[in-house]
Amino acid sequence: MPQLQRLAITPPQICDRQIDLTREQQHYLNRVLRLQAGDRFIAMDGRGHWWLAVLEAQETGLFASIAEEIAVNRELPVEVTLMAALPKGNAFDEVVRQATELGVASIVPVTSDRTLLKPSDQKVDRWRKIAAEAAEQSERQIVPTILEPVSFDVAVKDCGQKYRYICVARGENRHLWDCLLGNLEPPQPPLLRGEQDGATGFDPPQPPLIRGEEEFDPPQPPLIRGEEEREELAIVIAVGPEGGWTEGEVKRAIELGFETVSLGSRILRAVTAPIVALSLVGAAFEKC
């Protein structure tokens, strides 16, 4: 299939294999992308579905008809929630854009003890629009969920029963990469499973991080085996603001089951740290 333009739509826009395009979408397809009636594009609903669509014209404007559904698999085999403290200015725009490109499933904007930004409803709407645009550009199947900003204490309490990491710039903490590769002291199970490797310390008989009670047969491939198991793989990564998390915040996170991790020996900016963390997740879980 030739390279086609992509457009994020919402499920309610689809009815009887037709897509009811908004005025903004009509303008984008016709005036910006220069598509004419009969031209094809890809419609994505942000929930994992892609369709080959054909632009159609009628007296009241443009609409699209669905030609066929397209089977794709572009998502990470792990559900990643980024819990990010809000940086100054408009820097969170880039956090949302790049985190979407790197495969994040949801983003929780957090106000912490050192947060200066107090976001408005317009800011949240802007972030959601940026996420949709970045999902189109990066050919994501899913548009990440951008939640309403919450306080740090609410965020760490409501993150659910997931594997939780809080990034801390200083102190003796294990590197996030080591946690993802599974260099854990017994009896803790590793996150990834694979062939014996002296460099990473993989141990095939050990179970993966999130697997449940049932044992898997050794010949099965690691982790990526279908939708059912993907739903079980979930990680929360918390990244702090300028100046980092306070000691009190780190302590409260640890009490709620977070593990402190490092992203390296250098001090990263608040907008750089989330990208580094998500890049490590992608490198650990994705196969080229």
Is a pLDDT exceeding 50 seen at residue 90?
yes
Q: Where in the chain is the domain with CATH 2.40.240.20?
A: 6-70
Mean pLDDT of 208-231: 40
Give the CA radius of gyration of the chain. 21
Q: Which residues contact 178 (CB under 8 A, 6 or more apart)?
A: none
Q: Which residues contact 120 (CB under 8 A, 6 or more apart)?
A: none
**φ, ψ for residue 32 (rounded to 5)?**
-85, -50
d(CA 149, CA 86): 9
Query: What 3-state DSSP class applies to 22?
Result: coil
Question: Which pTM does this prediction carry?
Answer: 0.69
Q: Where in the chain is the domain with CATH 3.40.1280.10?
A: 79-285
CA-CA distances (angstroms) from residue 166 to 135, 256, 258, 279? 26, 11, 6, 16
Please report the pLDDT score of residue 231 as a whole number.
Answer: 47
Residue 38: exposure state from Cβ atoms within 10 A (0-12, 13-18, ≥19): exposed
Mean pLDDT for all residues in the chain: 82
Q: Classify domain 6-70 by CATH number.
A: 2.40.240.20
Q: Which CATH architecture has domain 79-285?
A: 3-Layer(aba) Sandwich (3.40)
CA-CA distances (angstroms) from residue 131 to 94, 142, 237, 274? 10, 10, 18, 15
Of the candidate ranges 3-7, 106-110, 160-164, the one whose mean pLDDT is the lowest: 160-164
Please report the pLDDT score of residue 1 as a whole number.
Answer: 53
